[in-house]
Amino acid sequence: MSVLPRGLTVRRDAGLYGYERALRRAGLDPIAGVDEAGRGACAGPLVAAAVVLPEGSRGEVPGLADSKLLTPLARQRCYDQVLRRALAWSVVVVEPEECDRMGMHVANVEALRRALARLDVRPSYALTDGFPVDGLEVPGLAIWKGDRVAGCIAAASVIAKVTRDRIMTDMHDTYPEYDFATHKGYITSVHTAALAEHGPCPVHRRRFVNVRRVEAAVGQNGYDEDNRSVLEAEDAR
């Protein structure tokens, strides 16, 4: 389901852990939060995470917020705290090729399902950010901007974001001409200029219009590892 259990309400001023407290009062525990990072990027993987925080003060992570609102240093501190405090957590990485094959929405839903399924602790309820996720095998609720109003979703967003940022920084070492360490594969003016100059590389997502447009303009079938100027050969994938 994607509604709160009958008779259960959460006040708007209940704070970051209000949903978890309300669900526990209804006898639903453990509670998992699930979120993703990288859905809007045109390069690199999609990363999903699931987190189960404990009840009480141990489950209240100092400084926790939506990962997009935190500085890199604050995110890292929250990441370390979440790993230290969580009853269970998991991460799923969906590679660009799989994102292209399934399409971003399907890949996103599948990644969230996988992350929840990999938890060592089976939750009684799941909170997801933004939209309902079918097939979670437990009841759940989709919360608009959930990473700003539910602690377990915010924790999952931090784990997903930090994990993906590390992956993109590592990709920068392989493809330095795209500056992945700075923009993490999202569409920025710097990334757009690099795409125009070098064409897409193997970790770009061909489902994205801007990537397809440059790919067509390059007019090549192969990505040359020597001059790093054209696309990876389709028949070599």
Q: Does residue 119 share a domain with residue 226? A: no
Q: Does residue 163 share a domain with residue 192? A: no
Which pLDDT does position 2 carry in this prediction? 60
171-184: pLDDT as tens digits: 999 999 999 999 99
Question: How far apart (Å, rounded) are the C-alpha atoms in residues 160 and 36?
Answer: 6
Average pLDDT over residues 186-208: 96
Q: Which two tokens stand for residue 66?
A: 């939506």
Q: Does residue 166 share a domain with residue 184? A: no
Q: Does residue 38 share a domain with residue 24? A: yes
Range of the domain at 26: 18-170
Domain boundary, last residue among 119, 152, 170: 170
Question: How far apart (Å, rounded) are the C-alpha atoms in residues 64 and 191?
Answer: 30
Task: Tally the domains of the chain.
Answer: 2
In a domain, 10, yes or no: no
Q: Does residue 179 share a domain with residue 157? A: no
What's the CATH number where 118 sits? 3.30.420.10
Q: Does residue 77 share a domain with residue 31? A: yes
Q: Which stretches of the chain are DSSP H helices? A: 18-25, 72-85, 96-102, 104-117, 146-149, 151-174, 180-183, 189-198, 209-218
What are the strands of the beta sheet with 125-129, ordered from one edge?
88-94, 46-52, 31-37, 125-129, 140-143
32-41: pLDDT as tens digits: 999 999 999 9
Q: Does residue 117 share a domain with residue 206? A: no
| DSSP-derived pairing of the beta strands 31-37 and 125-129 | parallel
75-84: pLDDT as tens digits: 999 999 999 9
In a domain, 7, yes or no: no
**Pick the residue with more confidence: 218 or 219?**
218
